[in-house]
Amino acid sequence: MAFPAGFGWGAATAAYQVEGGWNADGKGPSVWDTFTHQGGERVFKNQTGDVACGSYTLWEEDLKCIKQLGLTHYRFSLSWSRLLPDGTTGFINQKGIAYYNKIIDDLLANGVIPIVTLYHFDLPQALEDQGGWLSEAVIDSFNKYAQFCFSTFGDRVKQWITINEPGILALFAYDLGMFPPGVPHFGTGGYQAAHNLIKAHARAWHSYDSLFRKEQKGMVSIALFSGWVEPADPNSMADQEAAKRAIAFQLDFFAKPIFIDGDYPEVVKSHVASMSKKQGYPSSRLPEFTEEEKKMIKGTADFFAMHYYTARLVKYRENEKGELGICQDAEVDFFPDPSWKSVDWVYMVPWGIRKLLKYIADMYNNPVIYITELGLPQKDPAPLDDTQRWEYFRQIFQELFKAIQLDKVNLKVCCMWSLLDNFEWTQGYSSRFGLFHVDFEDPARPRVPYTSAKEYAKIIRNNGLEGCL
Ligand code: GAL
């Protein structure tokens, strides 16, 4: 089971989840600083990312982990408000630049390719105060921030992700209100935010394309989350259609405009429009792109970056009462097969990744694909010997192998989520996704490899599954 020569084996982290140093050296607050400091039990035990893994001061320890694994790629995100404390280029924090320069230089010196995410959920609070992603003004701020990052780091960074999981962000932050700013806008806020996120991504891609690409020769994409779905009753037309809608609402919603034609999937547009009508709205709750915007959005990704964690069965559920919400618009119910084992929300369905990869290859013209996240948590306390979790990872790698060899999917890189146990958003430190265990009680935040880390290192060394547990 040898992978193609040059296959990329990576691991990922995100600034707020690992860095700590929330107000160190002139960093401005992000929405996650504000949200966690407000308390109110919205995050497990009111935990915060104030210190997290301490990566702001302990980067060298992270580098040791990266070298121990033998990673070819390391994906991390820049904290926007560490670089630009109020979100604008009006004031630039040199200490922030120095921190990321060191990471990038150390990675390159060790032969590790950086994949850099510009924005991973941690919007500068100053921009949230002006409406955040509900406001169109943020698009311009994001574009200027992106240009600043390309011009500061782009001489060395060649693989960029503009925005992490716009779908999860729009849904959790602006529709359901579970992520900061914490205010629900059921059935409206998510679409509005998603609309601005897509435009912001496209603007940043064009900035790269017109101002930096020629000299820097890098690639820019956006990281899209999607679960896999299967119709609960494979013989039911209604469930089959529901499964298609489930993918359309979460993945194609972003991928179709960006990769195909600048516009949302028809099934999404028609469902939101007819539900909005039923609810008495004067027009669809889903905003429309102008023709000019469609042209601007179409074709703004140089590779396909996807995340896979889990799968669900889906059933058609008529939204008879006209309830407000994105799942309600899609008229789908998601639930697991009773035989699937799970840790938290992650039902372990290794074959789902092969199906998702095949779907993307078929729908999006066989693009170069990077898996920029893939993982399974352990509940705290987690045993260092996580052989069981490794068994799942091994099955996942087998599925990737089949996707490449049998389905001819153009998969080039796989990044595990995550390098380290870290601050898992509303679940705080109770959910451990790391290849390395981190002791959050110990001020030194020691990193210790799980069995999975040692096995992953073997995979990387052998470029395949030979010799693994
Ligand atoms: C993703 C997210 C990561 C991480 C992971 C595990 O949605 O990008 O930050 O938290 O899920 O839940």
Predicted TM-score of the model (pTM): 0.98
Give the residue whose CA is nearest to atom 10 of ligand 1.
424
Task: State how beta strands 159-164 and 113-119 pair.
Answer: parallel
- Return the best residue to mutate from 373, 416, 431, 433 for the ligand 1 pocket (most ligand atoms within 8 A of CB): 373
Q: Of these residues, 61, 331, 373, 399, which one is catalytic?
A: 373
User: Is 165 one of the annotated active-site residues of the chain?
Assistant: yes
Atom of ligand 1 nearest to the CA of 165: 8
Taking the chain (469 residues) in consecutive chunks of 10 residues, what is each chunk's mean pLDDT? 96 99 98 98 98 99 99 99 98 99 99 99 99 98 99 99 99 98 98 99 99 99 98 98 98 99 98 98 98 98 98 97 96 98 98 98 98 98 98 98 98 99 98 99 98 98 88
Ligand 1 pocket member 417 (CB < 6 A): yes
What six digits make up the tokens of 397? Answer: 């790698």
Atom of ligand 1 nearest to the CA of 223: 8
Q: Cα(96) to centroid of ligand 1, in Å?
A: 23
Q: Determine the Cα–Cα distance for residues 276 and 272; give it in Å rounded to an integer.
A: 6
Q: Of these residues, 61, 128, 165, 293, which one is catalytic?
A: 165
Q: Cα(243) to centroid of ligand 1, in Å?
A: 23
What six digits make up the tokens of 156? Answer: 């060395």
Q: Cα(122) to centroid of ligand 1, in Å?
A: 13
Give the residue whose CA is nearest to atom 5 of ligand 1.
417
Q: Cα(434) to centroid of ligand 1, in Å?
A: 12
Ligand 1 pocket member 14 (CB < 6 A): yes
Give the residue whose CA is nearest to atom 4 of ligand 1.
424
Atom of ligand 1 nearest to the CA of 424: 10
Atom of ligand 1 nearest to the CA of 225: 7
Ligand 1 pocket member 373 (CB < 6 A): yes
Give the residue whose CA is nearest to atom 9 of ligand 1.
14
User: Is 455 one of the annotated active-site residues of the chain?
Assistant: no
Ligand 1 pocket member 225 (CB < 6 A): yes
If one counts every other C-beta atom within 10 angstroms of the C-beta of residue 434, the result is 30
Ligand 1 pocket member 165 (CB < 6 A): yes
For the chain, report the end-to-end CA distance as a whole number of angstroms: 14
Ligand 1 pocket member 119 (CB < 6 A): no
Cβ atoms of 258 and 222 within 8 Å: the answer is yes
Q: Cα(119) to centroid of ligand 1, in Å?
A: 13
Ligand 1 pocket member 424 (CB < 6 A): yes
pLDDT of residue 466: 83
